[in-house]
Each structure stands twice: as structure tokens, then as C-alpha cells.
Amino acid sequence: PAVHGESVVLRILRPDSARIGLKGLGFEADNLANFNRIIRRPNGIFLVTGPTGSGKTTTLYSALNDLNTPDRKIITAEDPVEYAFKGINQVQVREHIGLTFAAVLRSMLRQAPNIILVGEIRDREVADIAIQAALTGHMVFSTLHTNDAPSAITRLIDMGVKPFLVASSIQAIMGQRLARVLCEKCKEPDPAPDPKMMRLVGISAEEAAMGSIMRPVGCAACDGTGFRGRRAIFELMVMNSEIRDLAFNRASVSKVRAAAVRGGMRSLVGDGKIKILRGNTTPTEIANFAQVEGYDPSEVASA
């Protein structure tokens, strides 16, 4: 209710979007190989981070759909259950009757699951139970609202989770965003890409000359927008001994990020850069959705 009338937000769910294959999410080949390997580990925690509407649920559903075989028992705790899957035990959280994430998680552990999905880690109680599940032989998938993958470690510690539990239980953390994809029907080569945008996303003149920088045009197929559909950009941080030591010692996000990059993590911008050079999206899209420092939307709007 607002002063001048009701304000309503309508979220339309597409049943088919939850069944996008892993290859359809936007992974580059190396990230897809790492992702496939991690989700098949017998225990540990795999976190997907990002703001609301960044595709976290779709990514996790796609992973569960890929893992959903008769020999695996999968249980989820969700609020709400957005899509129903055959062969997966999905539980709707109902906090008003005491059926909280924590209560569902405790019950799950008595059901002998192989894989657990917790819709979101919202507080220390849920985090502690999820970590306990991971340390006792279960693979746990969940989400956190953080800006990037390295920030998830400090977020859990700030919640009150002991650093040694964070360091020992997490297998990997993946940050993601959704960027619009250029319409294949009308996109065209960009003869003069904005130099500032190219600089913000780290594309040199030499790389641009060797790549395929495209721009939106607009046609009937895309309703004049120049874009059709969205694909994710990812940064996949796989835990290694250096990152675990940093987590144990409560290191800053910048130190964790530097260690992750040394360990092979490609940033959101770096992943977006590949898609720009391939002609899938634009520098402005990546600068916007990857929250590049120095990006000012008003400059684009007035250009």
C-alpha cells in the first residue's frame, strides 16, 4: 500500500527455465568442467551468490536436474518451491507454523539424503546446520546474497560462523549475474566501440580487432530492443589450501579474491569479456551487470 495507490510486483515463472541444461546457462568450457566436477563431490557446501534476480535458483535447479538419478536421494528446503521436479523431495518452508529452514534442515538429516538444497542461508542457525550436514557426508547446495564469490566467506564469518568451519566445509563458491544477449537477427558489428566502456571491461584495441564486437539494432524479432534472452556470467572460486588458510585467519575480501585469481578464478568481468569478444553481448551490459567500478549508467543514457 502506498499513498497514491497499491504498488504490485508480478513475477512470472517459466516452467521450462528450470530445466535448462547446464550447457545452456552460459558456462565457458573450463568453468563447466569445474562446475560438473564440484557438484558431483560426495560432501561439502557449494554456494551460489548474487543479488535477487541473478539466476541463482535456475543454476541450482539445473544442477539438481543433472544429478537427479535413482541412486541419489535429494531433498530441498525452499521458500517458495518455484518448480516441481519428479524424483526430488521438495519441502515448502512455512515459518508461521514453525516449519523454518532450520527445522526442515534438522529433519532432512534424519532422512539419509545424499544431496541437500537450502534455498538461502539467511542466518547463523541455518549456516551452522548446513555446515554440520556437509561435514557429516552430505553435499549441500545453497545461495547467499553477496556481490561476488569471495565476499561469501566474510559474510558467513560475519554471521557468527566459526572461521575454521567455513574453511573446512566449503568446496566452492560461484558468483553470477544475468546479462542480455544480442539479437541474432539484427545485431551488427560496432565500428567504433566506446573507448571508456572497452577500458572498463578490460578489452584492448588489439583484442577488439581480433574479436567480434557487436552492437544492438532492433527488429521485429526482438521487439526493437536489440536483445533476446539472457545468459549468465560467472566467477567460480574453487577452494584451495591458500583460500582455506585465508578464511581461517579472517582475511579481507581483497586478499581472498587475489588468492582465488591466482588459483584460476576468472572474474565476472573476465567471463563477460569473453562473451563480448564473441559477439554475444555488449561492453555496456557487462559493465552494468558486473558492477564494474567507474561505470556510470547516466553517461550511457546521455550518450
Model's pTM, two decimal places?
0.91
Domain around 277 = 184-225+267-303
Q: What is the CATH number of the domain that holds 236?
A: 3.40.50.300
Mean pLDDT, range 44-57, rounded to an integer: 94
Binning pLDDT at 50, 70 and 90, where does residue 13 land?
Answer: confident
Say yes or no: 189 and 203 in one domain: yes
Binning pLDDT at 50, 70 and 90, where does residue 167 land?
Answer: very high
**Mean confidence (pLDDT) of the chain:** 92
Say yes or no: 142 and 107 in one domain: yes
Say yes or no: 131 and 219 in one domain: no
Domain count of the fold of the chain: 2
pLDDT 10s digits, 100-145: 999 999 999 999 999 999 999 999 999 999 999 999 999 999 999 9
What is the C-alpha separation between 180 and 226, in angstroms, rounded? 9
Q: In the chain, what are the helix, strand and coil shares in percent, each to the nearest 5?
A: 45, 20, 40
Bond prior to 189 in cis (omega within 30° of 0): no
What is the C-alpha separation between 202 and 147, in angstroms, rounded? 20
pLDDT of the residue at 295:
63
Please state whether beta strands 170-182 and 227-238 pair in parallel, antiparallel, or not at all (unpaired). antiparallel
Check if the beta carbon of residue 113 is closer than 8 Å to that of residue 19: no
Within a domain: 206: yes
The residues near 74 (Cβ < 8 Å, ≥ 6 apart) are 64, 67, 68, 87, 88, 89, 113, 114, 115, 116, 117
What is the C-alpha separation between 243 and 45, in angstroms, rounded? 15
Say yes or no: 175 and 290 in one domain: no
Within a domain: 7: no
Tell whether the model's pLDDT for residue 293 goes beyond 80.
Answer: no
What is the C-alpha separation between 76 and 117, in angstroms, rounded? 4
Binning pLDDT at 50, 70 and 90, where does residue 294 land?
Answer: low
